[in-house]
Amino acid sequence: MATKKTALITGASTGLGEAFSRQAAISHDTILVARNEKKLKELAVQLKHQFGGKHEIIKADLTEKKDLEKVAKVLENEPELELLVNTAGFGTIGEFSNLEVETEISEIDLNISAVVRLSHAALQSMKKRNDGRIINISSMAGFLSAPYSATYAASKAFVKSFSEALYEENRTYGIYVQALCPGFTRTEFQQRANIDVSKIPDFLWMNADEVAQISLEEKQKPVLIPGVINQSGILMGSLMPEELRRNLTAKLMQSV
Ligand SMILES: NC(=O)c1ccc[n+]([C@@H]2O[C@H](COP(=O)([O-])OP(=O)(O)OC[C@H]3O[C@@H](n4cnc5c(N)ncnc54)[C@H](OP(=O)(O)O)[C@@H]3O)[C@@H](O)[C@H]2O)c1
């Protein structure tokens, strides 16, 4: 039997990461990364039962240098690595000067530094075989400066710009990098960010499985906005005068 290729997914314990893990497991062995060991173990058992193959877990806090290096080394030394999905991330909401600065720095560590370190590590393996994909989760927020979610939106703008540049550098090696820019997606994200979801209309939501599926099916786009509603939102935003866009974003972020 042919050896399966390997996918490593960060943030695999819930939400988009869990959805990516379930879909990747159809065709890949997986390495599931997050802090919640119990959830990772349960998912690995389910994947083995449903799809066969090898499903390993790594308990890691990716804001901790030691843990981040441990995951990076696994990527660098994995000969069959075909897919890396950098899903782990979180958001903060509120007036920047009133937020805990340690949490803001930690948000940068996870949303930016971990993505940079792990993308670099994955490319070392992928370039040996001239094959692979990296999906970095940005956000629709990556297209905006977002008052009352300043660090989060700036971190996602970094991920978008960084991934688009890596796409261009690596496509000639047969390695495709994607910045995935979802809008509101039903996961634990909003609860962790203390967002009041009751104010967000139903038609704006997507579910994690459909977002993961759209992302995995589209190999060649450096920046992918899933869903027509989200694509229309970005288009409308790009046509607005900057000041109006900033004011509307501020109002939206203050209302949730
Ligand atoms: N949901 C949305 O509406 C939405 C929209 C646009 C973009 N996004 C982006 O999508 C990505 C996934 O978020 P989600 O919606 O799936 O949210 P989620 O359900 O809260 O999942 C976040 C994942 O990140 C992991 N994580 C958090 N802190 C970590 C740390 N320090 N070290 C390692 N893993 C950590 C969590 O697992 P543990 O707690 O077990 O560590 C969890 O698996 C994020 O980058 C988010 O910014 C989400």
pLDDT per residue over 189-209, tens digit each?
999 998 888 888 999 999 999
Residue 13 Cα to ligand 1 middle (Å): 9
pLDDT value of position 196:
87
Residues 84, 189, 141, 88, Cα dihedral to 10°: -20
Q: Residue 30 phi/psi, 5° resolution?
A: -125, 155
Report the atom number in ligand 1 closest to the C-alpha of 192. Answer: 20
- SS3 for 135-154 is EEECCHHHHCCCCCCHHHHH
Q: What is the pLDDT averaged over residues 15-24?
A: 98
**pLDDT tens for residues 87-136?**
999 999 999 999 999 999 999 999 999 999 999 999 999 999 999 999 99
How many angstroms separate the CA atoms of 205 and 227, rounded? 10
- Across the chain, mean pLDDT equals 96
Ligand 1 mutation pick, 87, 149, 202, max ligand atoms within 8 A of CB: 87
pTM of the predicted structure, to 2 decimals: 0.97
Closest residue to atom 8 of ligand 1, CA basis: 139
Query: Measured between alpha carbons, how far is 62 from 114 in angstroms, rounded to an integer?
Result: 6
pLDDT of residue 1: 60
**Domain map of the chain by residue range?**
5-255
DSSP 4: P
Rounded to whole angstroms, the Cα distance separating 149 from 171 reads 33
- Checking phi first, is residue 59 left (phi over 0); if not, alpha (psi -120 to 50) or beta? beta
Contacts 24+ apart (CB under 8 A), 198-205: 199/255, 199/256, 200/256, 203/229, 204/229
Architecture of the structural domain at 5-255: 3-Layer(aba) Sandwich (3.40)
Among 148, 152, 167, 176, the active-site one is: 152
Task: For residue 110, count other CB atoms closer than 10 A to its CB.
Answer: 21
For ligand 1, pick from 57, 108, 137, 181 the residue to mutate: most ligand atoms within 8 Å of CB. Answer: 137
Mean pLDDT along residues 137-144: 96
Rounded Cα distance, 159 and 67, in Å: 21
> In angstroms, what is the span from residue 190 Cα to ligand 1's centroid?
10
Q: 43 C-alpha to center of ligand 1: Å?
A: 16
Residue 25 has pLDDT above 70, yes or no: yes
152 is annotated as an active-site residue: yes
pLDDT (0 to 100) of residue 66: 98
Please give all residues whose beta carbon lies within 6 A of any atom in ligand 1, as ranges: 10-11, 13-17, 34-36, 60-63, 87-91, 110, 137, 139, 182, 184-185, 187-189, 192
Residue nearest atom 42 in ligand 1 by C-alpha distance: 11
Q: Which residues pair with 33 in a beta bridge?
A: 10, 58
How far is it, in rounded angstroms, from Cα 21 to Cα 6?
Answer: 11
Sheet containing 28-34, strands listed edge to edge, beginning at the edge strand earlier in sequence: 55-59, 28-34, 5-10, 81-86, 132-137, 175-180, 223-224
The answer for residues whose C-beta is within 8 angstroms of residue 255's C-beta and 6 or more apart is 199
Contact (Cβ atoms closer than 8 angstroms) between residue 72 and residue 118: yes
Q: How many A from CA of 87 to the centre of ligand 1?
A: 6
